[in-house]
A and B are shown apart, each in its own frame.
Chain A
């Protein structure tokens, strides 16, 4: 399958062919773009059809000769390399520990419902945390690099337990030749000099939640009393950034229907000194006032284009930054296992509630239907794990012809469950936006190579 797309840079169109199965990226002229669309039965716009029909036969023949040559090399219209894949669910690699189901913010779009996940405002005990670590070490098989993400609610509300878990995990891992990498996602409100120093030392990655401009952030990320907190969050995030140096971190925000001009938020974060930035589209029920609807998608895709142009320009100079969804490694990237199975939820990646119950990922916590087991007795729901293991890119009909299928890994199972009623389903809005981000990241990769 060949995907064609155009990207406009500095007002000039660039044309690309993207071979889905081989991962070949070709920059072509307009004539080849038209010929490829015609050859691969991709709908031409009325203007393109008119232009194609006006082409001289000799030119068409010349272009088709080049395309045929590339097909013979396996660069274009390549056959699928892998047609079957059995994901193992025998081993655990990563855990998201819900350190507490309490939060010192009340964000209007919170998928965790103010941090509670519709459960009590429980805090994880050190005992539960240690049991989780024991289970991960017991179930990791030959995997050497293990991951623990401290999540909430707000994990800094239960920092002493986090510290205890880290100390325990490192000691236990050393005994058996494993290594943990730790991540924390925090809303920054409780950051101070002491815990910043500790997080900087112990966390392999820290995700700092902030939504961009003050007006955007304060409109949706509020304290329990409804007060704004942007100034404190920004001050603390900047303090962390200054200490962090070159170690891994992200500022991570959410955009909603109220800030479809989210490029301004990304640039604002960059202006404040952050160079690792992720801004995600909000995922909400259809009746929520902040939900992104179909009518917003055109504006969002235009904004991704706008962002891409600023991104290319800023990366040439002092304001260089990474945008999470424009990062792509055309020459290496993840292996087949990752490309076909995505995040690994329910198989190698699970979430643990404050009381020790185990779910396929953080977005399933509290949903009894998806309960996999608990940290005391282990994982017993192999039927559910097997269902997640089968839910690969190859098993999803809607992924078959998608140009982004090896780059999204089949999408988010939780979103599919929420919007299509089953984890095997499709959340089409995410697919549309993922394809757009892939096209832009490919065009950016091309432009930065030139």
Chain B
């Protein structure tokens, strides 16, 4: 496409299984007052904290 570049496609539909419920409760991480979940990793594929740094 000339005007549009796809960075990631349908990332949510890949994860539309209900899930195993094993991922960490977000308030156990680092916020305690403004929890979000987008920065949580799947317990089966935990990688956010680890990969980017190691891949460099």
- A336-B36 contact, Cβ under 8 Å, with A145-B22, A449-B7: no
Q: Mark A427-447, 1 if CB is under 8 A from B, else 0.
A: 000100110011001000110
Q: Indicate if the CB atoms of B28 and A183 lie closer than 8 Å.
A: yes
**How far is B36's CA from A17's CA once the two chains are assembled, in angstroms?**
21
Interface size on A, residues (CB 8 A): 95
- A interface, by DSSP: helix, strand, loop or mixed? mixed
- A332-B42 contact, Cβ under 8 Å, with A93-B25, A339-B37: yes
Q: Indicate if the CB atoms of B11 and A22 lie closer than 8 Å.
A: yes
Q: Indicate if the CB atoms of A407 and B37 lie closer than 8 Å.
A: yes
Q: Indicate if the CB atoms of B21 and A337 lie closer than 8 Å.
A: yes
Which of B8, B27, B33 is A349 in contact with, Cβ under 8 Å? B27
Q: Mark B15-40, 1 if CB is under 8 A from A, else 0.
A: 11111111111111111111111111
Closest to B31 in A: A280
The verdict on A27 contacting chain B, using a C-beta distance below 8 Å, is yes
**How far is B36's CA from A139's CA once the two chains are assembled, in angstroms?**
25
Q: Indicate if the CB atoms of B38 and A333 lie closer than 8 Å.
A: yes
A38 → chain B closest CB, angstroms: 14
Q: Indicate if the CB atoms of A335 and B5 lie closer than 8 Å.
A: no
The verdict on A232 contacting chain B, using a C-beta distance below 8 Å, is no
The verdict on A201 contacting chain B, using a C-beta distance below 8 Å, is no
Q: Indicate if the CB atoms of A143 and B27 lie closer than 8 Å.
A: no
Which of B3, B22, B23, B31 is A32 in contact with, Cβ under 8 Å? B3
Q: Indicate if the CB atoms of A333 and B40 lie closer than 8 Å.
A: yes
- A28-B10 contact, Cβ under 8 Å, with A111-B33, A145-B22, A325-B39: no
Q: Mark A1-41, 1 if CB is under 8 A from B, else 0.
A: 00000000000000001000111111111011000000000
- A337-B36 contact, Cβ under 8 Å, with A32-B4, A345-B27, A406-B12: no
**How far is B12's CA from A21's CA once the two chains are assembled, in angstroms?**
7
- A445-B7 contact, Cβ under 8 Å, with A66-B2, A333-B15, A334-B42: yes
Closest to A330 in B: B8
The verdict on A290 contacting chain B, using a C-beta distance below 8 Å, is no
The verdict on A415 contacting chain B, using a C-beta distance below 8 Å, is yes
Q: Indicate if the CB atoms of A332 and B45 lie closer than 8 Å.
A: yes
B19, B21, B30, B48 interface centre (most CB from chain A within 10 Å): B30
Taking beta carbons and an 8 Å cutoff, which residues of B are in contact with A? 1-43, 45, 47-49, 52-53, 56
| 13 A-B residue pairings within 8 Å (CB atoms) | A22-B9, A66-B3, A93-B25, A94-B25, A111-B33, A205-B28, A276-B49, A283-B34, A324-B29, A331-B8, A333-B15, A339-B15, A349-B28
Taking beta carbons and an 8 Å cutoff, which residues of A are in contact with B? 17, 21-29, 31-32, 62-63, 66-67, 69-70, 73-75, 78, 81-82, 91, 93-94, 96, 111, 143-145, 147, 149, 151, 181, 183, 185, 205, 207, 248, 250, 252, 254, 276, 278, 280-283, 315, 320, 322, 324-339, 342-345, 348-349, 361-363, 404, 406-409, 412, 415, 430, 433-434, 437-438, 441, 445-446, 448-449
Shortest beta-carbon contacts, A-B, top 8: A335-B19, A407-B38, A23-B12, A23-B11, A94-B25, A32-B3, A327-B39, A250-B30
Q: Add 9 more A-B contacts to A26-B4, A27-B5 (CB < 8 A).
A: A75-B10, A143-B21, A147-B28, A324-B29, A327-B48, A327-B49, A337-B19, A339-B15, A409-B26
